[in-house]
Amino acid sequence: MTHLRHITVFVDEPDPGHFHWVLHESTEDASVWVDVEEGAQSYPSWTEAFEAGMVELYRLVPDATLGPRALGEDEDADPVG
């Protein structure tokens, strides 16, 4: 069984005018997020960095109709029964 992974793209600006995309994923504890991947390249704008991060997120998705998936049960799913 697979479940949808909770992954987001955000943009970091470590130095003024230098933007980097970061992919973050929620853990079993919904308040804890971990880095999945971070772009090494710097972009001149937030928009360019965000768009590059979205491209990387899509690369994690073998089937765009299903989204990013992982094996196992979804710990955040409502209980059945």
Let me know if residue 24 belongs to a domain.
yes
Which CATH number characterizes residue 9's domain?
A: 3.10.20
Give the pLDDT confidence of 66-80 residue by residue, as tens digits.
888 887 655 554 444
| This prediction's pTM | 0.76
In a domain, 71, yes or no: no
Token look-up 């998936």 returns: 69
Residue 45: inside a domain, yes or no? yes
Question: Which pLDDT score is estimated for 72?
Answer: 62
Domains identified in the chain, total number: 1
Q: 3-62, pLDDT tens digit by residue? A: 888 899 999 999 999 999 999 998 888 888 999 999 999 999 999 999 999 999 999 888
What pLDDT does residue 73 have?
Answer: 57
Coil, strand or helix at 25: strand
Examine residue 52 and state whether it is found in any structural domain, yes or no: yes
Domain extent for 51? 2-63
The whole-number pLDDT of residue 49 equals 98
Is the residue at 12 inside a domain?
A: yes
| pLDDT number for residue 80 | 44
74 close to 6: Cβ distance less than 8 angstroms: no
Domain assignment of residue 58, yes or no = yes
**Does residue 76 sit within a domain?**
no
Q: Which residue has the tokens 């970091």?
A: 12
